[in-house]
Amino acid sequence: NRRSARAAMSRLAMRLCAHHAAFLARPCAPRRLACHGSRRTLAVRATDDASTSAGLPKVLVIAGPTAVGKTSLSLRMASALNGEIVSADSVQVFEGLDVGASKLPVNERNGIPHHLLDVADPSQEFGAGEFYEHALEAIDGIVSRGKTPIVVGGTGMYLRWLIDGKPSTPPSEPEAAARAKEAVRAAAEREMSRLKKSGADGDDVGNGWTGAVRALADAGDPETANRLAENDWYRLERAMEIVQTSGRPVGSFKPASRPKYNFRCVVLTSPRIELYRRVDARVEAMVRGGMLEEAAMMLGRGIAPGSTPAARSIGYRQTMDFVERRAARAGDGPCRPEELLEFVEETQRATRAFAKRQFTWFRGERDGLYTWLDASKGTRSELDDAVAATFHGCDGGVSSSACSDETRGEVDAECAKELKSYAPRQTIVNMPEVSRELCARVDELARRLRRVRELRARESAGRG
């Protein structure tokens, strides 16, 4: 009940205050180095970052893949730290996209102010630059009110701009990006061909990543090539584009502006199979909860699938395509359960792939920026305490925490084998009554969309 919830929050606040006092009363524990593969990672941010941000107002950043539990943690930390929440989600910025964006309803926000929700129209372009300006404005306001800014989200590019400042690297151009992509692809294919000729087959051939990374080093950026997280193709191709167009490695470009806040950052992780099961369940809940209607709304407004950031986002893109196909096939009869199931599985697959890319992105960030915490390990209180330890600037409570994740979300060989045979589960849409209900809703949305387009076409013809 509410009384027990308030009491629990009060106990949490007192415990965090005790941690804070203890941290201020003693020097920080020595920074602990943890080996992970060929990379050295720090449990907390690097010393040079700490020295440049010392004395600046602190901002807590809670990052991680979709469905890992960022929202619930952010609410607890906001209550404990007298905070306000700033969303760093590239879909939650759009007005009217609530269900598919996992936007927390107002009545579930516990009275905590949330910023950067519903600040753009789905027809608009909205990217890292716009987020940077809006987020800094929100954080400035929160700090001026004497409260703690808590930035929460999984959009890595948004967080990088906010934490590191506006980049000074040359902007990406379509032709240059295409050349870089082709150079990376060709290098990967050469590596796979070489391995096949040497007698390797199957998994031993891989995807050519080693050869592609070697090509970046040969092109003039060995530093970036050495620190890239495996299979981070986006960063590899972008680094190749920069070195090809400028003749300079990525590391030679410094941020155009220096941050004015001390960002204390955590990444939440979870065992991969467990996370994927939650992703699958969330997709089903979204489909039944209103994502179909939100996608149809965008189509009805003339927003084509893939034409704007909102229409390209995971979940909405697949849903818009599905409703569009049904609207275009008026003579094919009603929506069949098999079609619905195929759409749901496609959306689940795309969302799981997105979660995997989020892990890859955060592993590719500079060493020491993020503290990695497994949200499935330990108790809720232990997780909260570890986040508080990171925020207050000492790693004694982090390195000893049951929630510490030195693998940084990597899967071991056993899990990798299990993932190869992973099959999504449907616990809602495969129920006959739910399937019939959803198919009927899809057919009605398709009919409405056709009527809107017919009316629009007649009006256009009349004006002509």
pLDDT tens, position by position, 191-206:
999 988 888 876 666 7
Same domain? For 267 and 330 the reply is no
Q: What is the mean pLDDT of residues 49-70?
A: 86
**Number of domains, the chain:** 3
Same domain? For 145 and 57 the reply is yes
Whether 103 maps to a domain, the answer reads yes
pLDDT tens, position by position, 160-198:
999 998 888 888 899 999 999 999 999 999 999 998 888
Same domain? For 158 and 282 the reply is no
Whether 358 maps to a domain, the answer reads no
Same domain? For 194 and 230 the reply is yes
Same domain? For 278 and 264 the reply is no
Question: Residue 304 — pLDDT band, cuts 50, 70, 90?
Answer: very high
pLDDT at 24 over 80: no
Same domain? For 383 and 439 the reply is no
Whether 360 maps to a domain, the answer reads no
Whether this model's pTM surpasses 0.85: no
Whether 218 maps to a domain, the answer reads yes
Residue 57's CATH number:
3.40.50.300
Residue-number span of the structural domain to which 349 is assigned: 274-353+424-463
Whether 84 maps to a domain, the answer reads yes
Same domain? For 263 and 193 the reply is no
pLDDT given for residue 464 in this prediction: 64
Same domain? For 158 and 96 the reply is yes
Question: Residue 43 — pLDDT band, cuts 50, 70, 90?
Answer: very low
Same domain? For 371 and 347 the reply is no
Whether 16 maps to a domain, the answer reads yes
Same domain? For 279 and 227 the reply is no
pLDDT at 21 over 60: no
Same domain? For 349 and 374 the reply is no
Same domain? For 233 and 222 the reply is yes
CA–CA separation, 99 and 116 (whole Å): 16
Whether 335 maps to a domain, the answer reads yes
**254 vs 62, residue with greater confidence:** 62
* 341-360: b (≥16 Cβ within 10 Å) or e: eebbbbbbbebbebbbbbbb
Whether 359 maps to a domain, the answer reads no
